[in-house]
Amino acid sequence: MVARLITGARDERVAAIAEKALTRAWGSNPEMTNHAWDTLIADVTVVAQLITGARDERVAAIAEKALTRAWGSDQEATNRVWDTLMATPGPAWRFLLAPTSGCPHEPRVRLVTAPPDGGRVLAGALKSADPALREAMADLLRATDHPILLGDFENPLRNAMNPVREPTDGKVEAGAVLDLALANTHLCQPAPLGKNRTGLAIVAILKGRFDLLDSYDPASLVTELVRLDGKAFPAPAAEGYRRWLRALGPGPGREELCLLVIDGCPEALAAVADSGQEPEAPRLLPAFLFCTEQWERYDALDPDGSLLNHYINEEGEYAGPYLWTVAERNGRLLPPQIGVGALTGF
């Protein structure tokens, strides 16, 4: 209540009285001090405003101590403090960027001891109206090794890989995010966020570290790369991932590439056409040969079409509509499409 009076009272005399009450209670005895702690921490949004809005420097100092205790106490409190301080650069940012020896991550500042989540810091680096704030957050992101902050790069880069997921301003944002990501040496590591978090693979590709791609789940990575929007990234990205797709060895990555061929994915079709790759799984081979229009081999393998029909029956509504596109283009007969496959394409 006292903190709200300091920041929200319409009469400055009331605010001044509230400030005196807080400074008098603070340190007067343990019980009163603890009560002041509890009151302040219960409303971290108001306390954050006190750092820059208090008239009495002692109140600002008390507010900073309260925020120090609240920061990192739980994720929700940390996020609320961050959201409030975003509007109050200057002293507020000195609080977040204050050096701390107890931080296990780089850079060793208070913000990195328990960073806000949800891409908040990255958004600050890209979109804040305050130039100093943008540069401070950008510098921090170039240097950090904190998993939460590294994870903030994942979604923008992964979304930019696929034009279907990309927002309207995705290309502009993806470029800015990529510039920061390429400057952070901790992102050019084996699967920094786990083998299924494939958005960061683009960093390894652009740095020529194709050995790092082996650390990702191969099927997940192939699925992302064949859908990558080459226009969202520098030209070497498309050149790099296309070379990698054409050099896949036997295993889950190649099998996924061949499944994507059956789905009619243009990038997958181009990759197997250039490299001669084909699936190891016998059940996939008839559909693969059909979709790549290798008619001599297909007719020798499946002269009466029973193998392909069996595959289509097994897949049911998940049989890719590209099979029927190829059939129509080449005057081949297939069973009627059913379910989802009859309505949607790749």
DSSP string, 249-288: -TTHHHHHHHHHHHTT-HHHHHHHHHH----SSTTTHHHH
- Which of 184, 203, 99 minimizes the C-alpha distance to 141? 184
Instruction: Spell out the residues 6+ positions from residue 118 whose beta carbon is closer than 8 angstroms to its own.
Output: 79
User: In angstroms, how far is CA 319 from the centroid of its own chain?
Assistant: 31
Q: Bridge-partner residues for 99, per DSSP?
A: 109
Arithmetic mean of pLDDT over the chain: 82
* Torsion, Cα of 291, 295, 300, 304 (10° steps): 70
One-letter amino acid of 35: H
pLDDT digits (tens, 9 = 90+) for 178-234: 999 999 999 998 998 889 888 899 999 999 999 999 999 999 999 999 988 767 788
**pTM score, two decimals?**
0.76
- Which of 271, 193, 184 minimizes the C-alpha distance to 227? 271
- Which of 268, 270, 218 minimizes the C-alpha distance to 284? 268
- The count of C-alpha atoms lying within 13 angstroms of the C-alpha of 101, restricted to the half-sphere facing its C-beta, is 0
> Is 70 exceeded by the pLDDT of residue 28?
no
Mean pLDDT, residues 33-56 taken together? 58
pLDDT confidence band for 160 (50 / 70 / 90): confident
pLDDT confidence band for 38 (50 / 70 / 90): low
> Is 80 exceeded by the pLDDT of residue 166?
no
Share of the chain above pLDDT 70, in %: 75
pLDDT confidence band for 15 (50 / 70 / 90): very low
Confidence at residue 129, expressed as pLDDT on a 0 to 100 scale: 86
CA distance 86 to 201: 31
**For 145, which DSSP code?**
-
Confidence at residue 4, expressed as pLDDT on a 0 to 100 scale: 47
| CA dist 328 → 64, 167, 322, 331, 332 (Å) | 71, 35, 10, 5, 6
pLDDT digits (tens, 9 = 90+) for 310-322: 999 999 888 889 9
Burial class (CB in 10 A: 0-12, 13-18, 19+), 122: buried
Confidence at residue 288, expressed as pLDDT on a 0 to 100 scale: 98
| CA dist 156 → 68, 222, 227 (Å) | 31, 18, 15
Mean pLDDT, residues 143-152 taken together? 95
> Is 50 exceeded by the pLDDT of residue 25?
no
Mean pLDDT, residues 143-170 taken together? 78
Confidence at residue 17, expressed as pLDDT on a 0 to 100 scale: 38
**For 42, which DSSP code?**
T
Q: Bridge-partner residues for 109, per DSSP?
A: 99
pLDDT confidence band for 63 (50 / 70 / 90): confident
Contact yes or no for 318/292 (Cβ under 8 A): no
- The count of C-alpha atoms lying within 13 angstroms of the C-alpha of 263, restricted to the half-sphere facing its C-beta, is 17
Confidence at residue 265, expressed as pLDDT on a 0 to 100 scale: 96
